Structure 1
């Protein structure tokens, strides 16, 4: 029987899709800064040809021209209409047997229903000529993180949320994760970050960095997510995982509101690991801690303030294509 478990993110990539900010009405004053941050991310992942092929996905011709202007020759640019850039959630998930899965998408529980997001996963899979299976239940890629062994970590806040699959129980969702993606061991964490409109995506909270090893933030003083981090670390350890702690950015505000800033939203590329930074006191310490986990890759920290205004960061806007 073929192994359908998705390879872990640190396995070799053929390429990566990265969403490119395309809609001025969504980004307003942050459009150009977000485009520059995405281009910097693309350059870091490309790593002067030592990394992987970067495919910037633009929603229309204007955005495609802008992508060419800011990214130059480090990326191929393709046009595929979408609602917004969060391809981790809307793009296809490539499995271990070289096929793809495309799940239903309902705008993170009906919050953001934008044209094109519901079928971008199918269309992107078609562009690389892989067989794609449509799975008839709601699942966003940022809600799960696997270590390649059939083990996956997720949060109850998201996967069991009534706004996703209200007719499915925890056991039924577990059965679907196994049937569709091969995940036989599910580590259930509780809540995600405060004010995360994804209802607690795990890629802001806990990330596998090796088989059986998960990184989780360590709270700083006045950290609004201190209890979330503590409970996640306890649950992961109770499930038999090795837990390594990464400094948290702490309380990050925009317009006097706490935003879900997280160093956990890093992307693991072939040659580089790219960590989002926010001008927080622990920026350098977080990069150093993540570098220690990936000694064969160059860990780079890049500012992601403008991208975060849209609700996510580098991991959220990317979806790797395994080699």
Structure 2
């Protein structure tokens, strides 16, 4: 039996890529480094972290900041490898279980439909020392574009997966068949609404609605009718309410935060 693993499945560790002057964070680098140190502090007391650094200078920078922060490095693994940007959730491997054995799927990453350079991100997984089999299916797919309850149901958005900038030669039926075969899912729950303004991912579901356990979905809710997101998020909420009735799910609304500039 093949199964896409849910977010809460026991993990070996977390893959991160360090922010530097070659990434999106160049204009806010000090803030980005502080945020990543907070991530490391939250993770390293209980979980492995594989942190990719671009070069020895970045590696030394990480070591200095981690030491200054007083973090325990027993679970921290630094690897030098080149990359385009830091969005490891989208270019990192996706784990599936097949008859009790876990394998990693390294899908093609195109910088969210060719919006940004992604040639190095797309090859990074094959340059890292995984202890599990790594396969490369012939499909464009990002980790943030899909979510699962671990029970065979896949939650995603048509605006992303059916976008002509990804897999344009596949019909929806063909794409569904490939996802079911490769990920081991039995049903795909499509959302047709909910895109956020300025979202380069074309409505990744991980910014909109997520399983938090097998029966619960947390989602972004907008109550302000003057907000430009209101109509789209209200339509998405209606879609989720329909799913909840059909599958006996609990929905947890999360208020859309006020933008920070």
Q: Could you say which TM-score interval applies, normalised by the shorter chain? A: 0.7 to 0.9
The Cα of 1:226 is off from its aligned counterpart by 2.3
Q: Which residue of 2 aligns with 1:181?
A: 183
1:253 & 1:14 partners in 2: Cα distance? Answer: 34
1:128 & 1:25 partners in 2: Cα distance? Answer: 24
1:44 & 1:224 partners in 2: Cα distance? Answer: 34
| Structure with greater Cα Rg | 2
Contact persistence 1:224–1:251 (CA under 8 A) = no
Contact persistence 1:92–1:122 (CA under 8 A) = no
User: Structure 1: which 5+ residue stretches go unaligned?
Assistant: 255-323
Q: Which residue of 1 aligns with 2:6?
A: 8
The Cα of 1:89 is off from its aligned counterpart by 0.8
Q: Which residue of 2 aligns with 1:199?
A: 202
**In the alignment, is residue 238 of structure 1 matched against residue 236 of structure 2?**
no
Q: Which residue of 2 aligns with 1:265?
A: none
Q: Flag as ranges the 4+ runs of structure 1 deviating above 4 A.
A: none
Say which SS state the counterpart of residue 2 (structure 2) adopts.
coil
The one of the two structures with greater contact order (alpha-carbon pairs below 8 A, sep at least 6) is 1
Q: Which residue of 2 aligns with 1:119?
A: 123
Match of 2:221 among 218, 221, 225: 218
Pick closer, same or farther for the CA change 1:136–1:129 going to 2, 3 Å: same
Q: Which residue of 2 aligns with 1:77?
A: 78
Q: Which residue of 2 aligns with 1:87?
A: 88
The Cα of 1:206 is off from its aligned counterpart by 0.4
Alignment: residue pair count: 247
2:124 & 2:163 partners in 1: Cα distance? Answer: 23
CA RMSD of aligned residues (A): 1.8
Q: Which residue of 2 aligns with 1:166?
A: 168
Pick closer, same or farther for the CA change 1:84–1:183 going to 2, 3 Å: same
The Cα of 1:44 is off from its aligned counterpart by 1.1
1:37 & 1:220 partners in 2: Cα distance? Answer: 29
Q: Which residue of 1 aligns with 2:55?
A: 60
